[in-house]
Structure 1
């Protein structure tokens, strides 16, 4: 056999092998995609069935009505011990399944987005008060999401799109919001103590009455951001540009950590005051 034909045959064989590997990979990825979609749909179905079969929304409505009437002196709504135990156990089941599926979708931001939107639309967060403590919503699209009063302590929201989201009165202590887009979001009266907001976009964000004590706000993008009544004690403002923010007096900034910080134009503080403490060379 001539050498040229042998080379051609080898090349064709390699080409065919490469194509076979590509087809196999595509089929495997398609199968994995179908499996993930089945898992997600199964999660939705099981939670929907739990809500309907156990009549959870009706029970929690009775519980809330009882609390209101107790404080208002009106005739009490009867909530049995059995109802309360059923509600508590069901919420624990929902929490366990939710955290489990979020771990499974760790690198699947689209499906994590679907999970949180389902929880919001089914009133599982707002009415059942489902705790999302420690949940992984990194890189999820939560644009405009209503998470008012949600328990997101130690949750991972790094890189998430939270533009226009409502997180008023939410519990976000020790949460990871690094590099998240928080533009025009509402954090009024939220607890963000010890939270990591480093590198986040805080343009037009409101933190009225929020607790940002010990929070990491280093290298944040701050533009027309409102801090009226916010607590900033020991917050890390390394590299933050605060020139266009509102309600940041020297008194409020006195207890923060400053290093290479762009301060409001009328500030008399040293923008590099705490570089040594933060381990940054001036």
Structure 2
């Protein structure tokens, strides 16, 4: 009789423990809101037609703290990275554009970039290095952050699931290079990135658990084609039929609505580098 009472008492207490544990987990995963105003968020959504993850707005806040006069150039001297794409909208650069109706879908889109890829950071002009969000479905949040060097080929390398992780990975790579200058500045920036990521509960892993689960759903990987040499233009068949653009290495999970990313003239870009008319 006593044993039954104990078991019954234990079963009564267990749901409460589970609820408390679940509440603690929710508190850990909660991310505080960014200081970016709702008006700026709505403007970015209306112009890009894409939902932006919260880490983009938090990264904008950090860059404003690093360089209030020019947040888009906050990482230029240290890492050689320039904030572009949706950051241009947050900075209000589109209001001073010569073109009254710029095409935001082509803004900083490189030759090998698939429609799923949206550039947010620009690196070396020589290698056409750029970092951006990769989405499987247009109306969903990015699946991961990737990088590509258009001069070298079409491969998109995964760099975590948020911009903080991507920039930190890029920083560590630069820091580990022999003869790297500005080591002190890199250490200061590294500390700020780690501290802010910990505050926001953002993962700094290059491949998170969700990204590994996504990889298991991949249908195929398209083979790469050599990058165009300077002065090379697209063939007549590629110009007449955008769907015959050069092959790119990108993967789609089985659950993706790939038809939503149908190729059109709106998504095609210049043979070498981004569309020059959209450089604000």
- Structure with the higher helix share, 1 or 2: 2
TM-score, normalisation: structure 1: 0.31
Q: Considering only CA atoms, is the larger Rg found in Structure 1 or Structure 2?
A: 1
Bigger RCO (CA 8 Å, 6+ sep): 2
TM-score, normalisation: structure 2: 0.31
